[in-house]
Structure 1
Amino acid sequence: MALELFGTKSCLYTAELRADLEWRGVEFVEYDVESDPKALERMLKLTHGLRTVPVLVEDGRVKQVGWQGRGCTVG
Structure 2
Amino acid sequence: MQPNIEIYTWRSCPYCIDAKALLKSKGVEFTEYAVDGDEQARSEMSKRANGRRSVPQIFIDDAHIGGCDDLHDLDDSGKLDSLLGIARS
TM-score category of the 2 structures, normalised to the smaller one: 0.7 to 0.9
Return the offset for 1:30: 0.3
Report the number of matched residues. 68
Identity value in percent: 32
- Counterpart of 2:44? 42
Return the offset for 1:40: 1.5
- Counterpart of 1:9? 11
**Which structure is higher in strand share?**
1
CA distance in 1, matches of 2:61, 2:41: 16
Return the offset for 1:35: 4.5
SS in 1 for 2:69: coil
Are 2:7 and 2:56, in contact at CA under 8 Å, matched by a contact in 1?
yes
Are 1:56 and 1:62, in contact at CA under 8 Å, matched by a contact in 2?
yes
Equivalent AA in structure 2 for residue 51 of structure 1: R
RMSD: 1.8
What TM-score does the superposition give when structure 2 sets the normalisation length? 0.65
CA distance in 2, matches of 1:3, 1:50: 18
> Where does 1:23-38 land on structure 2 (aligned, <5 Å)?
23-38=25-40
What TM-score does the superposition give when structure 1 sets the normalisation length? 0.75
CA distance in 1, matches of 2:24, 2:9: 15
**Which structure is higher in helix share?**
2
- For residue 51 of structure 1, the aligned residue among 26, 50, 53 is 53
Bigger Rg over Cα = 2
- Structure 2 residues not aligned, in runs of 5+: 71-89
